[in-house]
């Protein structure tokens, strides 16, 4: 019978499992089976007894931190799993204490499970990838805030790859740029997002080419073969490894079914899972859908705020912005209220497509001049807001808009303008601008006769040509001091040459030009002619008297009109005291703030102002209280009735007395035609008179010849 002591070593040596015995107190190895010697690549006869187990098996210089000696017993095996870094092998280990020659030794049986463990880990990793992908999908689908969803997704991806940074770049097809739109970065890494905006699309052309060929883009550490603008860009941001997958946008209609690169998703400096690029590609697919949804949502939101025909903000957007501005602290606000003239007529006679062109033409000009806050708030109504800018810049923009209206726009439009600084009341300013626009609108529609609109631009061009041709002439009527008989001034009156050579009075043409909004050309022409005449008068050594020039309210509503008049006056070297601006009571229809601004400009540039036609149709006493006039001119209709109408005498007498009490305002009576009228006016202490009793209006050459050197009448 074979002895048991001889059989056991044979069995152990022939086993495929690794077996060894060591002293648990000293860690010295006392036995290795053949499988263990082969696993350790030991030479035949190489001595192992006395060597330390942790040095021999693990390559360590001290006892293993995971040593199981404390867990061992003689009754049963202690089973555990371990990866041996030295042998690069996974083992199932069965440990037990065995007694030999009266001492306890450690017996360890090692079973190699590397193949099955790798398979298991691969399966676990695959499950981890799938779980990560599911988590990404849930993040995108369940989070209503799309930006938050994408940011959360990038965090999931970044942590899976244990990367420094995960990100999304998106292309802007309109300006051919690419921008970093989203990013996640781990703690200790700085954000690169602000530095990666609006990059030229050509900078990342290498990405596009690679995506077209292989659907992925890799840069791995120590890859010296890769070069180009992208590696240079990544190196600038301390990226030594990089993975990216494309985000495609399907465009079946516009692009005949071809894909267009919308952007890409990637990670920088991943420390694990670089072989699992499929995860990044799968996420890119779902992100592309989400970005498409986001763009559609943004487009729908944008459309809800935009006017479809013009691309300007619509009424809803305008109301929202007004409410926002009410909550803000505004330093200044300019308001431009615009209404298209004749839109209904154009729709009725030329069709709605032409009407749409008119609307688009006006909108184009508004968007060009006021791109920040421009809205179409009705069928033919627009409003533009100029927030926290200077008055000078606002007026410059208005000039640009007016030039557009004159030279490029295919239709006319009425415009109400208002600018305020300091304490801003938005509703009040908008209301003022609306009212001013309405005044212009009424002027416009005053020219509509029998459904046929006069062509504003055609009339303006015709008027300018007639002025250049000399069809208009300045006449002057003396103004006489009633106590001394001395000529103390004159009024410039416009005459127009008729087709038969006759001279037409202002009532034959002024109202037309005023209603068509072109009167400013004529008013400025008259003013310049008076400046020329005064310059000649001074040059010839005479002593000129102040000349009054009439200005329509429509003309005075223009931007920088007073500044323009001052420039004309200075160009001809005329002293400011020789020019008087005559306005009528209709000026009170201007918005109060604009009217105050106008009077401030008159004072700023040294002009004196006369209130003409007082008592004609109506009298606005408030205007006398709120404005500084140097002269009040009683209308001819009051003077005509002085002899026969006691009420007229009461009104005239009290008006003259009021002038005397209102800061010594000069009282001037117009239309004096007889001695009786003159006598009554003297009795009432009227200061100045004007009328045929003294002189009819004279051509300027005749006036200069008659009065240029003598001031006594």
The answer as to whether 78 is a domain residue is: yes
Long-range contacts of 613-622 (CB under 8 A, 24+ apart): 613/584, 613/585, 613/670, 614/585, 614/655, 615/651, 615/652, 615/655, 616/584, 616/585, 618/585, 619/585, 620/585, 620/588, 622/588
pLDDT, residue 27, reads 93
* 617 φ/ψ sector (left φ>0, alpha ψ -120 to 50, else beta): left
* One domain for residues 523 and 601: yes
d(CA 696, CA 481): 16
* One domain for residues 131 and 67: no
pLDDT, residue 486, reads 93
* One domain for residues 323 and 368: yes
Residue found by looking up tokens 């938050």 in the block: 148
* One domain for residues 103 and 50: yes
| CATH number of the CATH domain containing 594 | 3.20.20.450
- Residue 250 CB contacts under 8 Å (≥ 6 apart), including other chains: 259
* One domain for residues 441 and 479: no
Residue 400 neighbours by CB distance under 10 Å: 14
| CATH number of the CATH domain containing 192 | 3.30.450.40
The separation between the first and the last C-alpha atoms of the chain, rounded to the nearest angstrom, is: 168
| CATH number of the CATH domain containing 91 | 3.30.450.20
pLDDT, residue 365, reads 92
pTM of the predicted protein model: 0.42
Out of 453, 479, 513, a domain closes at 453
Identify the three-state secondary structure at position 322: helix
- Strands 688-689 and 472-481 turn out to be antiparallel
CA dist 161 to 140, 181, 238, 274, 293, Å? 19, 20, 17, 7, 27
pLDDT single digits (tens) 595-629: 788 888 999 999 999 988 887 655 566 677 767 88
Q: What is the DSSP letter of 528?
A: H
pLDDT, residue 7, reads 46
**Residues in the chain with pLDDT < 50?**
1-4, 6-8, 224-226, 252-257, 443-455, 710-713
The answer as to whether 539 is a domain residue is: yes
Out of 281, 304, 327, a domain closes at 304
For 467-606, where are the E strands, in sequence order?
A: 472-481, 487-497, 503-504, 547-550, 579-584
Cα–Cα–Cα angle for 617, 622, 624, nearest 5°? 85
pLDDT, residue 710, reads 41
* One domain for residues 339 and 377: yes
CA atoms within 13 A of residue 418's CA, in its CB half-sphere = 25
Asked if residue 610 lies in contact with residue 576, where contact means CB atoms within 8 angstroms, the answer is no
- Strands 165-172 and 103-112 turn out to be unpaired
* One domain for residues 439 and 473: no
Count: domains in the chain: 4
Q: What is the DSSP letter of 202?
A: G
d(CA 252, CA 90): 53
**Four-point Cα dihedral 376, 381, 386, 390, nearest 10:** 160
Three-class secondary structure assignment of 224-278: CCCCCHHHHHHHHCCCCCEEEEEEEEECCCCCCCCEEEEEEEEEECCCCCCCCHH
pLDDT, residue 531, reads 93
* One domain for residues 297 and 149: yes
Q: Please name which of 329, 325, 335, 328 lies closest in space to residue 375, comparing C-alpha atoms.
A: 335
Please give the residue range of the domain that contains residue 364: 315-453
d(CA 228, CA 250): 29
pLDDT, residue 256, reads 45
CA 47 to chain CA centroid, nearest Å: 84
The answer as to whether 458 is a domain residue is: no
pLDDT, residue 693, reads 94
With residues binned 3-state (H G I as helix, E B as strand, rest as coil), the percentages for the chain, rounded to 5, are 45, 25, 30
- Strands 374-376 and 177-185 turn out to be unpaired
d(CA 310, CA 374): 11
* One domain for residues 298 and 327: no
The answer as to whether 166 is a domain residue is: yes
pLDDT, residue 672, reads 94
Identify the three-state secondary structure at position 537: helix
Q: What is the DSSP string of 89-156?
A: EEEEEEEEEEEETTEEEEEEEEEE-HHHHHHHHHHHHHHHHHHHHHHHHHHHHH-S-HHHHHHHHHHH
Cα–Cα–Cα angle for 118, 120, 121, nearest 5°? 65
Segment (H or E) for 157: helix 146-160
The answer as to whether 459 is a domain residue is: no
The answer as to whether 263 is a domain residue is: yes
Residue found by looking up tokens 């041996």 in the block: 84
The answer as to whether 471 is a domain residue is: yes
The answer as to whether 309 is a domain residue is: no
| Token pair of 639 as six digits | 């003077």
Out of 282, 304, 326, a domain closes at 304
Report the percentage of the chain scoring pLDDT > 70: 80
Q: Please name which of 453, 477, 506 lies closest in space to residue 670, comparing C-alpha atoms.
A: 477
Cα–Cα–Cα angle for 523, 529, 532, nearest 5°? 145
* One domain for residues 519 and 627: yes
* One domain for residues 614 and 640: yes
* One domain for residues 299 and 361: no
Residue found by looking up tokens 């944008």 in the block: 302
pLDDT, residue 224, reads 46
d(CA 195, CA 234): 12
d(CA 411, CA 357): 9
pLDDT, residue 333, reads 87
């Amino acid at each position: 019978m074979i002895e048991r002591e001889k059989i056991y070593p044979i069995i152990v040596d022939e086993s495929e499992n690794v077996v060894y015995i060591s002293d648990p107190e000293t860690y010295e190895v006392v036995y290795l089976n053949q499988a263990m010697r082969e696993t350790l690549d030991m030479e035949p006869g190489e001595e192992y007894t006395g060597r330390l187990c942790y040095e021999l098996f693990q390559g360590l210089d001290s006892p293993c931190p995971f040593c199981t000696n404390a867990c061992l017993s003689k009754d049963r095996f202690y089973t555990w799993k371990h990866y041996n870094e030295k042998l690069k092998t996974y083992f199932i280990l069965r440990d037990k204490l065995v007694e030999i020659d009266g001492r306890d030794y450690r017996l360890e049986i090692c079973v190699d499970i590397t193949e099955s463990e790798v398979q298991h880990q691969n399966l676990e990793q695959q499950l981890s990838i799938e779980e990560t992908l599911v988590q990404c999908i849930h993040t995108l689908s369940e989070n209503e805030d799309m930006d938050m969803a994408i940011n959360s997704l990038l965090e999931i991806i970044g942590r899976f790859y244990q990367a420094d940074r995960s990100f999304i770049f998106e292309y802007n097809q309109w300006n051919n740029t690419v921008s970093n739109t989203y990013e996640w970065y781990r703690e200790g890494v700085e954000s690169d997002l602000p530095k990666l905006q609006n990059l030229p699309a050509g900078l990342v052309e290498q990405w596009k080419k690679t995506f077209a060929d292989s659907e992925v883009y890799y840069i791995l550490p120590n890859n010296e073969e890769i070069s180009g603008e992208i590696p240079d860009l990544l190196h600038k941001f301390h990226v030594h490894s990089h993975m990216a997958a494309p985000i495609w946008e399907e465009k079946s209609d516009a692009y005949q079914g071809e894909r267009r690169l919308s952007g890409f998703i990637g990670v920088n400096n991943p420390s694990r899972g670089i072989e699992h690029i499929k995860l990044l590609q799968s996420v890119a697919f779902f992100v592309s859908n989400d970005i498409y949804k986001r763009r559609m949502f943004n487009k729908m939101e944008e459309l809800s705020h935009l006017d479809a025909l013009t691309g300007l903000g619509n009424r809803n957007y305008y109301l929202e912005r007004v409410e926002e501005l009410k909550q803000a602290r505004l330093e200044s606000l300019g308001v431009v209220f615009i209404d298209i003239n004749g839109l209904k007529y154009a729709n009725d006679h030329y069709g709605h497509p032409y009407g749409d062109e008119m609307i688009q033409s006006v909108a184009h000009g508004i968007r060009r001049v006021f791109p920040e806050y421009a809205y179409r708030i009705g069928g033919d109504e627009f409003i533009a807001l100029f927030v926290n800018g200077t008055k000078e810049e606002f007026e410059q923009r208005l000039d640009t808009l007016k030039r557009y209206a004159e030279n490029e726009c295919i239709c006319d439009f009425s415009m109400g303008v208002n600018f305020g600084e300091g304490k801003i009341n938005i509703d009040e300013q908008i209301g003022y601008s609306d009212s001013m626009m309405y005044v212009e609108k009424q002027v416009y529609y005053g020219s509509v006769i029998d459904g046929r609109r006069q062509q504003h631009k055609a009339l303006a061009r015709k008027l300018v040509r007639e002025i250049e041709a000399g069809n208009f002439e300045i006449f002057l009527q003396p103004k006489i001091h009633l106590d001394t008989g001395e000529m103390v001034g004159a009024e410039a009156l416009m005459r127009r040459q008729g087709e038969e050579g006759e001279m037409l009075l202002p009532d034959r043409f002024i109202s037309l030009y005023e209603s068509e909004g072109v009167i400013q050309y004529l008013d400025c022409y008259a003013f310049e002619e008076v400046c020329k005449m005064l310059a000649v008068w001074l040059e010839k050594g005479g002593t000129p008297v102040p000349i009054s020039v009439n200005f329509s309210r429509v003309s005075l509503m223009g931007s920088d009109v007073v500044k323009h008049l001052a420039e004309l006056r200075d160009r001809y070297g005329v002293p400011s005291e020789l020019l008087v601006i005559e306005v009528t009571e209709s000026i009170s229809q201007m918005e109060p703030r604009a009217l105050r601004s106008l009077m401030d400009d008159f004072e700023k540039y040294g002009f004196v102002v006369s209130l003409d036609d007082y008592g004609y149709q109506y009298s606005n006493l408030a205007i006398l209280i709120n404005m500084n006039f140097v002269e009040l001119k009683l209308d001819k209709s009051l003077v005509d009735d002085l002899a026969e109408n006691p009420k007229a005498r009461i009104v005239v007498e009290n008006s003259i007395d009021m002038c005397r009490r209102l800061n010594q305002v000069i009282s001037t009576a117009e239309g004096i035609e007889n001695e009786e009228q003159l006598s009554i006016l003297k009795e009432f202490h009227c200061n100045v008179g004007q009328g045929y009793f003294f002189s009819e209006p004279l051509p300027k050459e005749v006036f200069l010849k008659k009065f240029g050197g003598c001031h006594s009448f």
